[in-house]
């Protein structure tokens, strides 16, 4: 397992007035730095230390999201009124509900 395969993000933290390094697979971890590059280096180093500690204690290490297989399918529960509205909208547009839902889910990505 390579810790560089984890999902890292660096963003500006307005409250701290510093960059924040984050790792999606370890949501409780963060690293603050004045420079973006230092925030990334810091969170990667922190994840390395945490993974090393987990391995030494026999704990299960999260699989990197990039190494997981995604089928492209998932189930979501919605209120019946929303289901009806989506069915009507899909019918009016002449497309499947699956295509409509997919378009709505990807609209803000």
Instruction: Determine which of 1-5, 23-27, 90-94 has the lowest per-residue pLDDT on average.
Output: 1-5
Between CA 21 and CA 35 the distance in angstroms is: 10
**pLDDT surpasses 80 at 1:** no
CB-based contact 19:36 (threshold 8 Å): yes
**pLDDT surpasses 80 at 26:** yes
Query: Which tens digits make up the pLDDT trace of 63-108?
Result: 999 999 999 999 999 999 999 999 999 999 999 999 999 999 999 8
pTM listed for this prediction:
0.75
pLDDT of residue 108: 82
Q: Which is nearest to 7 in space by CA: 25, 33, 21?
A: 25
**pLDDT surpasses 90 at 109:** no
Q: Which residue has the tokens 């280096």?
A: 41
Percent pLDDT > 70 in the chain is: 100
Binned at pLDDT 50, 70 and 90, residue 19 comes out as very high
Does residue 81 come out as left (phi exceeding 0), alpha (psi in the -120 to 50 range) or beta?
A: alpha
Q: Which is nearest to 50 in space by CA: 28, 19, 35?
A: 28
């Amino acid at each position: 397992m390579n810790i560089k395969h984890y999902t890292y993000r660096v963003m500006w933290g307005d409250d701290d007035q510093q960059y924040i390094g984050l790792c999606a697979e370890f949501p409780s971890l963060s690293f603050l730095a004045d420079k973006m590059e230092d925030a990334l280096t810091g969170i990667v180093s922190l994840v390395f230390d945490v993974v090393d500690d987990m391995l030494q204690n026999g704990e299960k290490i999260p699989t990197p999201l990039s190494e997981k297989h995604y089928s492209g399918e998932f189930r979501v529960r919605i209120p019946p009124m929303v289901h009806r509205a989506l069915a009507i909208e899909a019918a009016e547009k002449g497309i499947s509900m699956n295509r409509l839902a997919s378009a709505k889910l990807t609209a803000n990505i």
